[in-house]
Amino acid sequence: MTNISWRRDAKNILYNYPENLRYLKSLEQDLIFAQSPHREVRRRGGISDPTAVKGMMLDKGEIKALKEQLAAVGRLLERLDSARRDAKYKRLLLEMVYFRRSHSLYGAAAYLGIPERTAHRWNAKILHALAEELGYFDEDEQSYLPHHTRL
């Protein structure tokens, strides 16, 4: 992937993480607790059972890709939580900028009391780590961040 496309994809995944998490949970809960209709609805050429339709939606590749993305963000959050230095600030930066969308990157840096350059560097590391979790980089492909860089 090019430098721009993986960064854009990683940002979109982070921006949509809370909404996608709620969507997947509601879809699974709706499937589990769905009640059968009182009368049989017959349609031509389609499945009339809404539970079966929802089950097929969960089995589709789109939902599978969504689950993989959510799992990758979950692993990223675990990596952030297990990091020793500045983990709390990085997590707050991630939540304020991407999950809550309450601050811009500059505003989050000012709120946390860190330099803007540090916020940009942390943001680049977070996006790169998510792209690695998603498997965007081949082993042969070299990214612009050194391999010794950690979250």
Q: Please indicate, yes or no, if residue 144 is contained in any of the structural domains.
A: no
pLDDT digits (tens, 9 = 90+) for 33-62: 665 444 445 555 555 666 666 667 666 777
Which residue type does 120 have?
A: H
Number of domains into which the chain is organized: 1
Query: Do 105 and 123 contact (CB within 8 A), yes or no?
Result: yes
pLDDT value of position 147:
54
pLDDT digits (tens, 9 = 90+) for 97-140: 999 999 999 999 999 999 999 999 999 999 999 999 998 887 65
Domain assignment of residue 91, given as a range:
3-36+48-134
Residues 6+ apart with CB under 8 A from 54: 27, 30, 31, 34
Q: Please indicate, yes or no, if residue 41 is contained in any of the structural domains.
A: no
Q: Please indicate, yes or no, if residue 139 is contained in any of the structural domains.
A: no
Name the percent of the chain lying above pLDDT 90: 48
Q: Please indicate, yes or no, if residue 147 is contained in any of the structural domains.
A: no
Neighbour tally for 91: CB within 10 Å: 17
